[in-house]
Structure 1
Amino acid sequence: MIQNRLLKNFLKNAEIKELYQSYLEKPTARKKELIEKLFKIHGRKIQLLSYFSQTLIFESQKFDKKIRQNSKLNQLILDKNVDGGSKLLDLIPDEQNLHDFEFSTPVESCKLEIIFEDKQLYEIVSRLSAKQKEILYLLFVKDWTEGELALALGVSIQAINKIKNQALRKIKKEYELAKQNIKDKN
């Protein structure tokens, strides 16, 4: 039984195995030279494969290191504040067609307060910024999606979501505060 892995792999080829068996049965110098020559070729192939494998590993590690260094040096920080206190992420528009949606005028969003019968809610909503009123009006009255609104305004969905959440938190906070004041008076 052959223990050497290199020799086992060499003898996997049926023609070489047949030649080797023939040599063992009737050894000749010609067969021996042929087997030795084929074994040297097989050894060279193994060496080349090993070399290429090590080269690929080395080059891939080198490439990975270069990419990591480059990404460290050239970080894109989307949470960084830019002009006016807004974040860079808020300024990135989504990549869809803008002409699919009709955009309302700011005058239309002023109607937002009118839909409230509750006097306290009316007063709270009337104190929101024009942008907040407009976004809430289009989202909840006109039933636009955040994506459609982001496209129409040319900002990211995250920016729309942020403004919406700020407005809703403000409304909730002021409404609860107003309810508490009424409760305290009684």
Structure 2
Amino acid sequence: MNKLAEKFFYEKDENRDLYNKVITNNDRKSLPILEEKFFNYLFKIYLTSYINKSITYTALNFKKKYNLLNLRELPILNISDEDFNEEKINNIPDIPLDYVEEICNIYDNFDFRQIISDEKLLSAIDMLSNRQKKILYMYYVQEKEEWEIAVQLNITRQSVNKTRNRAISRIKFQLGRD
């Protein structure tokens, strides 16, 4: 309490003067004013301390909940694959929903060995996901535009572009590694 009183007196010269007036002059009229100022000062200190602690504990609780949620729901498919620098979700084979299209699809019968003789390139293409192979086939062999592929596969043009670029990067990486 002594430190608190010292801080109160050194905060404002008016408080020190009022204290000296009460002690040295025995001025009883100034005592209630001094007490009121001191209690207001205490209230301000306690309120500031309470708000500070509330913010601190609220932030800690928020961080605990956030960390707990992140541990429960790991975004394992959004983690980049270290070997290929792409998200693992892109390596999951797509299952077509339209079985008629799957049966009639020319791509399923296509083998890249028919047009490519380089074994390194073929092995790099074999490492791609089915979707990446299909997009490369449609873009380079069938010479379709990105928007046409997007319409046919029911995805966005941007997705076609990204998948094609990732496939090319993956092939370059495989060829550079050999």
Do residues 88 (structure 1) and 89 (structure 2) align?
yes
Structure 2 counterparts to residues 107-122 of structure 1, below 5 A: none
Q: Which residue of 1 aligns with 2:2?
A: 4
Do residues 154 (structure 1) and 159 (structure 2) align?
yes
**Comparing 56-65 and 19-28, the one that deviates more:** 19-28
Equivalent pairs counted in the alignment come to: 125
Q: Which residue of 1 aligns with 2:118?
A: 124
Unaligned runs of 5+ in 1: 81-85, 92-121, 138-150, 177-186
Q: Secondary structure at the match of 1:67?
A: helix
Q: 1:168 aligns with which of 160, 168, 172?
A: 172
Query: How much has 1:43 moved relative to structure 2?
Result: 1.5
Q: Secondary structure at the match of 2:26?
A: coil
- Distance (whole Å) between structure 1 residues aligned to residue 175 and residue 140 of structure 2: 11
Give the conservation status (yes or no) of the 8 Å contact 2:135–2:164.
no
CA gap 1:133/1:167 in 2 versus in 1, 3 angstroms: farther
Q: Which residue of 2 aligns with 1:41?
A: 40
- Distance (whole Å) between structure 1 residues aligned to residue 175 and residue 44 of structure 2: 75
- Distance (whole Å) between structure 2 residues aligned to residue 70 and residue 26 of structure 1: 65
Q: Percent identity?
A: 17
Query: How much has 1:155 moved relative to structure 2?
Result: 4.6
CA gap 1:168/1:55 in 2 versus in 1, 3 angstroms: closer
Name which structure has the greater RCO, CA cutoff 8 Å, separation 6+.
1
Query: How much has 1:70 moved relative to structure 2?
Result: 1.5
Give the conservation status (yes or no) of the 8 Å contact 1:90–1:155.
no
Q: Which residue of 1 aligns with 2:108?
A: none
- Distance (whole Å) between structure 1 residues aligned to residue 8 and residue 161 of structure 2: 62
CA gap 1:22/1:136 in 2 versus in 1, 3 angstroms: farther
2:7 partner letter:
N
CA gap 1:156/1:33 in 2 versus in 1, 3 angstroms: farther
Q: Cα RMSD over matched residues?
A: 4.1
1:10-53 deviation per Cα after TM superposition (whole angstroms, max 9, x unaligned): 12123222322333441222222321232122122212222222
Q: Secondary structure at the match of 1:167?
A: helix
Give the conservation status (yes or no) of the 8 Å contact 1:79–1:89.
no
Query: How much has 1:58 moved relative to structure 2?
Result: 1.3
Q: Which residue of 2 aligns with 1:23?
A: 22
Query: How much has 1:7 moved relative to structure 2?
Result: 1.7
- Distance (whole Å) between structure 1 residues aligned to residue 20 and residue 44 of structure 2: 23
Query: How much has 1:131 moved relative to structure 2?
Result: 4.3
